[in-house]
Chains A and B, each alone.
Chain A
Amino acid sequence: MPGITREEVAHLARLARLELSAEELDHFAGQLDDIIGAVARVSDVAAQDVPPTSHPLPLTNVMRPDEVRPGLTPDQALAGAPAQEQQRFKVPQILGEE
């Protein structure tokens, strides 16, 4: 299994929406390399014909009657918002100028 480079860690941080500092990149690159080196042992079973388990319970879709029930008021739902306007979550710009 290949190791992980500083550049790959920088790419992962971007994918994970983490604005890491240069110092953190150095630090995490070494640590992630160690961890990945240790957990790569699972690939010992990669070739085995074993079904994967994603969850301890046999999951089935759970249905409930479509009934009106009390929920949060707009004020309650917005109470923790970093910014709000006109009973809505106010967010920074999502789209470009064009």
Chain B
Amino acid sequence: MADLTRLTAAELAAAVADGTASSVEVTEAHLARVEEVDEKVHAFLHVDREGALAQARAVDERRAAGERLGPLAGVPLALKDIFTTEGVPTTVGSKILEGWVPPYDATVTRRLKEAGVVILGKTNMDEFAMGSSTENSAYGPTGNPWDLTRIPGGSGGGSSASLASFQAPLAIGTDTGGSIRQPAAVTGTVGVKPTYGGVSRYGMVAFSSSLDQGGPCARTVLDAALLHEVIAGHDPLDSTSIDAPVPDVVAAARNGSVEGMRVGVVREFRGEGYQPGVIRRFDESVELLRELGAEVVEVSCPSFDLALAAYYLIAPSECSSNLARFDAMRYGLRIGDDGTRSAEEVTSLTREAGFGAEVKRRVMLGTYALSSGYYDAYYGSAQKVRTLVSRDFERAFADVDVLVSPTTPTTAFPIGERADDPMAMYRADLCTIPVNLAGNAAMSLPCGLADEDGLPVGLQIIAPAMADDRLYRVGSAVEAAFQARWGHPIIEEVPAL
């Protein structure tokens, strides 16, 4: 039998369902791969070998008993360490939660388990999902499998790296300003930020509640759709969860076509700061869409120019409030409780010791933006920008079915290059942030390698809210056409580790 770690999730599920391979065999193959390469990659913070094998055995038993299995039953997955997992440590990449073992499962975790998905372990991330490189993890950086000296994107760099190094065929990420799409772009994988409210946030440690959204990561568009279907849908435990049917993303992924669609190219997403090799691959993608029968038009979204600035006021403001719960009283780290210090002093000492530099920066930035005297100028204006960004999208989608852009302005940058330059780091999310502000849906998928460095380039597809299926219809058409041109999926060009 072929190397099980090279198969897609759809292929693995079919193999488990028809008995070609057991879920235990599939899981053991992936655990062996983790053992073999993760010392170099550092995608995982915690590997749950026993839990994974127990779940795999349960799936195999259900199959032996003649039960009909779900479309991803028995398939391994890497879960971002931001989702609570009952009995399995959850750190959010932070020292403040080191060793914390949650007493309950996130809704996403529970849905994965119910679908028979095998959770291999928890993946590395920027602390509290704040970052674009995974360098802000308190547990050390993750390497990009295309070049281990470069960043795998962030905040979900552990998830994207696990896919690109064939340690898992599926992963889960969260996207507040691009943390699913940017890692997908720089690792040559697929990542989707669903419509806000499409996937439950219950048990997902909050960073910026009006922006955070969990979503699927995979190596193919169809695999992402199958995973999307498993985790999406209304959840009474999340009051912002949308109570409406999930768009049929799997059918869309199986029927890729852009024939007769109108595709808008966002004029603002090019120019200064964009790597020439990224723009070249993007322009080819637009040409490909035309060849496939789409009508391509240029679209202007002038307020996107202020989106990055608005985001870096809104997200820190919400995070400064959300992270107030880390007060050293009910869970997590407690420092300096020697019987003489007050609760407030213990809280301050604990947060000082438990939070990393980027978290401190954002908490203070948010505290500043929300303080009296500055509130209207900063937070109030940022909220107006948010309205203007949504209006730009509305105007664009009145004319086109989807928008396209590069996912990121550059390919993966070297580890350390932007570590102490916050504004340079923030610009990695230039093209992804407007989508979070408006709450609509977007995908990143590979569109080739940049000429100058041979690193993956991502194509971003953006759809209106609740039209997530359009991402998959367009994405699978583009994926199929590119693979026909290249002769293989681009991920097969990743160097051996």
Contact = CB atoms under 8 A, between A and B. Distances in A.
Q: Which 5 A-B pairs have the closest CB atoms?
A: A56-B439, A52-B383, A80-B331, A82-B334, A76-B103
Interface string A54-96: 1111010010100000001000110111110000010111100
Nearest to A29: B364
B320 interface: yes
Given A28-B364, A80-B101, A40 B378 contact: yes
B320 A16 contact: yes
Interface of A: 1, 4, 8-9, 12-21, 24, 28, 31-32, 34-36, 38-46, 48, 50-57, 59, 62, 64, 72, 76-77, 79-83, 89, 91-94
A57 B240 contact: yes
Contacts of B363: 16, 18
Contacts of B361: 28, 31-32, 35
Given A16-B367, A39-B378, A72 B384 contact: no
B380 interface: yes
Given A32-B368, A42-B309, A48-B384, A19 B351 contact: yes
A53 B387 contact: yes
Contacts of B327: 17
Nearest to A38: B423
Interface in B350-406: 351-352, 355, 357, 360-361, 363-365, 367-368, 371, 376-378, 380-388, 390
Contacts of B339: 92
Interface string B220-255: 000000000000000010011010000000000000
Nearest to B330: A89
B169 interface: no
A57 B423 contact: no
Given A32-B361, A54-B210, A77-B103, 12 more contacts: A12-B368, A17-B327, A18-B352, A18-B360, A20-B352, A42-B385, A46-B384, A52-B383, A55-B240, A62-B239, A79-B103, A82-B333
B: interface residue count bin = 35 or more
Contact of B103 (A15, A45, A50, A72): A72
A18 B346 CA distance: 10
B343 A35 contact: no
Given A35-B365, A50-B388, A28 B360 contact: yes
For the residues of B in contact with A, the DSSP-based class is: helix
B243 to A, nearest CB: 9
For the residues of A in contact with B, the DSSP-based class is: loop
Residue of B364, B383, B387 ringed by the most chain A CB atoms within 10 A: B364
B296 interface: no
Contacts of B146: none
B349 interface: yes
B466 to A, nearest CB: 11
Interface in B301-348: 306, 309-310, 312-313, 320, 324, 327-334, 337, 339, 341-348
Contacts of A94: 342-343
A75 to B, nearest CB: 9
A21 B339 CA distance: 23
Interface in B12-48: none
A25 B343 CA distance: 23
A41 B239 CA distance: 33
Contacts of A59: 239-240
B465 interface: yes
B306 A45 contact: yes
B139 interface: no
A75 B213 CA distance: 31
A80 B332 contact: yes
B240 A83 contact: no
B472 interface: no
28 contacts: A14-B348, A17-B347, A17-B351, A19-B349, A28-B360, A28-B361, A32-B361, A32-B365, A32-B368, A34-B423, A38-B423, A39-B310, A42-B378, A42-B382, A43-B378, A43-B381, A53-B383, A56-B390, A56-B465, A57-B197, A59-B239, A59-B240, A77-B103, A80-B100, A80-B101, A82-B328, A92-B339, A92-B342
